[in-house]
Every structure is written in C-alpha cells, then in structure tokens.
A = this chain, B = another copy of it.
Amino acid sequence: MTQRPKVTIKDVARAAGCGVATASRVLNASGPASPDVRERVQNAARELGFSFSSRGRALQSSRSMTIGCLVPSLANPVFAEAVQGAQEALAGTGYQLLISSSNYEADADSDAISTLVEKEVDGLIVTMVAPARSSALGLARERGIPVSLMFHDPIDGLPTAHVDNFVAAREVARRFAELGHWQTAFLALRFASSDRSRNRYAGFHAECRARGLPDPTLIELSEAEANTPELLAGILGSLNGVTAIFASNDFLAIGVQSAARLMGRCVPRDLSVVGFDGIEIGRLLEVPLTTIETTPEAMGRQAAQSLLDLMQGEAPVQHPPLPFTFRAGATLARPGAENRDDDQVAPWPPSVPSLKTDLKQG
C-alpha cells in the first residue's frame, strides 16, 4: 500500500554513484562497464526494486512493444481462439496484445483501428468487416504500421492467415452431390458483414452450378432467428424440397439440428446438415456434427508470426491457406426417398446472382 514514488534509473545511478548513462549500459548490457561499477549498479537496482519504465523507453525508442488486435467479437470462440493463438505466438517476444472488438460493425472497426493507431501500436492483427475498403486501415499502412490479417482472403500487400473458404465450401457441395442431394440451402448469419460467409456461399454455389444442381437457396438469418429454435424451425419449414443445409458456422448448424428436432424431422434421415468451423462441442453432440474443421488457433499464430516477420523488415509473404478437414460426423446422409416425391418446385431461381463480383477466384 505504501505509494512509494516510482524509482527511476536516476535513483539507481545515484545510489550506485555513477551516471545514468552507465547505469543504463549496465542494466541493458548494452555497453562497456567495469566489473566494479557493474556490481554496484546491479545491487542498487535490486535493492531499490528498480524496473524500467516502458513509457520512457517507448518514447525514446519509438517502439511501444505493443500489437493491436481487432476482431469482431471475443464472444465468438473462433475469434477468441485465434486471439489466444496470436497471444501464444507472441509470448516470449516481449510484445503484448492490445485488443479491441467491433461487434461486426463497420464503423466500429474503423474507429477501433484509429484508436489502436493513435496508441502507436507497432503492428496490427486484424479481422474486420471490409479490410480492403477501410480507410482507417489504409491510413495505418500509410503510417508504416505493419498489418497482418486473419480469416480474410489475401489483399494486395497484406499477408493474411486464412482458410480457403471457397474451396472448403465446394467440398461441402461435392459431398452433398455425391450423396444425391438435389435441392440445398445455405444459412448465413451476418452475410453482409462477413466476407467469410460470402465466400463460403460463393464456393458452395459455384460447385452446385458446376454439377448441374439447382442454385442453393440463400437464407440470411437475424440474430433472433439464429438463436431461437422455434423461429428457425419456421424458416426451415418453408424450405420445400430442400434435403441438405449448409450452415455458415457450427452454431447455426447445431441450431438447425435442434430446430429440426422441434419439427419432428430427423437429422440426418430427413434433413442433412453441415456446419463450418469445427468447434469442439460439435464432436460431443448426440449426433456429432458434420462440418468443415478449421484451426483458428493456428490462424492466430500464423498471423502473429507473419506480423513479426513484417516488423523485422522482411518483405510481406503470403502463406498458403491453412488446411481444413472435412469432419464426417453423423448429420450428413443420403436424402430420404420420401422427400423426393413432393419435389414440385421446378426451376429454382438463382437467389443472389449479383453476388458474383465478390467471389473469390478459386
């Protein structure tokens, strides 16, 4: 409780009977010093309980040893794990993570970037709504702050740690098709603000097309719909003829399972469901979730490592996408024969044809 005034390097120097320059050299092992004075300085520092002020250091060295990290929300375990991964990669390097979250709002994440830049972080690890269009991010880059992305597709000079959503989604379409599913749907939560979700839809859509399947129905859910099985059941009920659903994340997929149960439809006999992300819990369900398994922690680690490289002055290098695996689970099966009969909705209209411009080029 004794609010003793902060002990500075001057105090140490005085106690050791030498100049501050010498004290600094000794404590940093950054220059010559006689054994004698070295000893005195170290003793003094120990006795006074000296520790460097990173404020003074930051000012003088113009490095804050701090990295800004922006994600949509830590309440989403995918991002939380990524941050954890970044954090682990940074442990031992002396860098600390300054975090910020945007709640999936484009304005908020611009503000957040600006704030982090004003805090003079030495680098940025970012997942945001629209990194390519963010002027705040552009400003940061102009100021020479190294930036690495997570979860996004590569953008010009910005290394990104990502999984290939487009390709992964095509894999899902392939599995659906091979089992004989015909009419499918894609469930999205924040389609407008998530390029991940859009890329997944794009890949899914592309592969369906390529195989001559009708375009998948795109369904954008509100938060309320996603979290309320009853509402979700209502929506699923309106999908006549759809035998397989690709949910843009595992939570949604699990929600679909429970909604289906509510409707008295059996997964996977009456309805197949595939998720995305591969969260742990999906494996433990009574009917384990079929999903694309990704490694958010590895993504965070890679993003942090790329950033470290960048900060070392290396040229930006884009790593290949991180691997994903198709986790078989038990929510995917051939469509039940009875569903084929009431298949009267003939030419399924493409749901979001204008989306093409945003699509990833495979």
Residues of A in contact with B (beta carbons under 8 Å apart): 1-4, 6, 51-56, 58-59, 62, 64-66, 73-75, 77, 80-81, 83-84, 87, 96-101, 115-120, 141-144, 227, 229, 251, 254-255, 257-258, 261, 280-281, 284-287, 297
- Which residues of the partner chain B approach A251 to less than 8 Å between Cβ atoms? 280-281, 284
- Which residues of the partner chain B approach A64 to less than 8 Å between Cβ atoms? 55
Task: Select which of B2, B56, B75, B98 is within 8 A of A59 by beta carbon.
Answer: B56
User: In the complex, are the beta carbons of A97 and B96 less than 8 A apart?
Assistant: no
- Which residues of the partner chain B approach A281 to less than 8 Å between Cβ atoms? 251, 254, 281
Cα A143 to Cα B59 in complex, Å, equals: 22
Taking A84-B73, A251-B281, A257-B286 as contacts, is the C-beta distance between A54 and B120 under 8 angstroms?
A: yes
Task: Select which of B51, B87, B118, B287 is within 8 A of A118 by beta carbon.
Answer: B51
User: In the complex, are the beta carbons of B96 and A84 less than 8 A apart?
Assistant: no
User: In the complex, are the beta carbons of B297 and A284 less than 8 A apart?
Assistant: no
- Which residues of the partner chain B approach A101 to less than 8 Å between Cβ atoms? 84, 87
User: In the complex, are the beta carbons of B99 and A254 less than 8 A apart?
Assistant: no
Distance (Å) between the CB of A153 and the closest chain B CB? 21
User: In the complex, are the beta carbons of B229 and A258 less than 8 A apart?
Assistant: no
Distance (Å) between the CB of A92 and the closest chain B CB? 10
Pairs across A and B, CB under 8 Å, 18 listed = A1-B142, A55-B64, A55-B120, A74-B74, A74-B80, A74-B84, A77-B77, A80-B80, A96-B98, A96-B99, A98-B98, A229-B284, A251-B284, A254-B281, A254-B284, A257-B286, A261-B286, A285-B285
- Which residues of the partner chain B approach A54 to less than 8 Å between Cβ atoms? 118-120
A108 to B, closest residue via Cβ: B91
- Which residues of the partner chain B approach A62 to less than 8 Å between Cβ atoms? 6, 55
